[in-house]
Amino acid sequence: MTESPDANDPLAPEGADAPVGAGPIRATPDESLAPSEAPVFVTSSTAADEWVAPAEGSDTVPEQGAGSTSTPAGAALAARRRRSRSAWSSRFSLLLVAALVGGLAGHYAAPSANSVLTVNASTQGPGAALLPGGVSIPKLVQHALPTIVSIDVRGAGGEDQGTGMIITSSGLVVTNNHVIANAVQSGTITVTRSGSTKALPATLVGTNPIDDVALIRINSVRGLPTVTFGNSNALQVGDAVVAIGNALGLAAGTPTVTQGIVSALGRTVTAGTSTSTETLTNMIQTDAAINPGNSGGPLIDSAGDVIGMNTAVAGTLASGETSQNIGFAIPAATILSLLPQLKAGQSVVNHGAFIGVEIESNNPQLAQQYGFPVSTGAVVISVISGTGAAAAGVRQGDVIVAINSTTIQNAQDVTQVISALRPGDVVALHVVRGTKHLTLRVTLGRQSKG
């Protein structure tokens, strides 16, 4: 498949002004659903078969005994509360009746038709919501909307809705793989551009179920506006963001907009269906509301650039409590690194190998903050006990700079290398620890099912 060069095309050949990304991240797609006792994350498409994932635990505070009726004092307090509540209920009812009677009296005592009614009114519009720094959210949204589409997929598995971002003027659209999964074997994909009600046919170009990224093409279009990808590796916790997408599939062509901040970086989230699971690492966590149907939509920064793709949201805990304002987006750097393969129709195959660490891309800010002697590589955030990494002596704070003979620039590179290997393979992990450069031999394990 060929594509004519485009000034805004992130897939333009070498020599064009194309953004540079990082590598893929994923776990095995054929593992079972996480245990029922774990908290869940739900990906943000509107599929009936929701994706879930274990999340960080939460503490539950038991109710105290002040209201207990197991003692005479408790029973007396409970009775007193009931009496007080009954008295106020009666009083409230009386107030309602009095208000109604007063209203009727006012109606019958209204002034004559010759009286002049004077009210104050303003023609000034409401003020625009602003991001920190005074950036106007309406202006950001107006700039972004023409580059966003609502996606509807129908196949043997049912119907699903999601969101996509136009990346070339000839109609290539990037979205989550789980949004278009029903159309992989057979089915139809249609897209509706923002501000329109016309559904346009689209075809599937490439899929990557490992990293939950896919590429589709709107048929027979040209001259479309395109998104601009920002530098997700430069994000900091507290940065302002705006999420846009086809939330709940309420109305194609009229995306929902929410505002928030970057809550955390480098998160690892395991998600899956009843037949498979996969692990996404180095995810952006945000408190901008993300809902079913937002999947594949942009998370944009205060410059209006796309720094992530909305993918998952925390769901209900095993205790029945619901999480609050915890959503996840795939970094722009990961998406950019996958686009050439997706355009060529390739799919990454993951054999389920697992190194046993949670990682985050290193950058100059992290290096300065923690005193790392290098500003690239992948920083080990935590080491999972009982894994090959733990047995080999990998430590929190190590910076992975190479695996075997492959140089590691960021967290995506680690996952890309490991995903091509198999459980039982032994790798030479080159790390920087303080001022030391160490080589650790790690035996890869198999990705946990939850």
> Chain-centre distance of CA 281, in angstroms?
12
Calpha distance 24→212 (Å, rounded): 10
Which tokens in the block code for residue 341? Answer: 């393969």
- φ, ψ of residue 284 to 5 degrees: the values are -85, 125
Cα 410 to Cα 20, 237, 281, 282, distances in angstroms: 12, 18, 12, 10
Residue 295 falls in the annotated catalytic set: yes
CA separation, residue 289 to residues 157, 331, 341, 441 (Å) = 27, 17, 31, 42
Q: How far apart are CA 107 and CA 116, in angstroms?
A: 16
Please provide residue 389's backbone torsions phi and psi, each rounded to the nearest 5 degrees: -65, -45
Assess whether 178 carries a catalytic annotation: yes
CA distance 54 to 75: 42
Q: How far apart are CA 392 and CA 226, in angstroms?
A: 46
Q: Select which of 170, 295, 302, 337 is catalytic.
A: 295
Name the residue with tokens 């935590």. 382
Q: Considering 178, 194, 287, 398, which one is annotated as catalytic?
A: 178
CA distances to 29, 49, 102, 120 from 33, rounded to whole Å, are: 11, 11, 61, 60
CB 327 within 8 A of CB 309: no
212 belongs to the catalytic site: yes
Catalytic residue among 212, 239, 305, 413: 212
Q: Residue 417 and residue 415: Cα distance in Å, rounded?
A: 5
User: Which residues are part of the catalytic machinery?
Assistant: 178, 212, 295
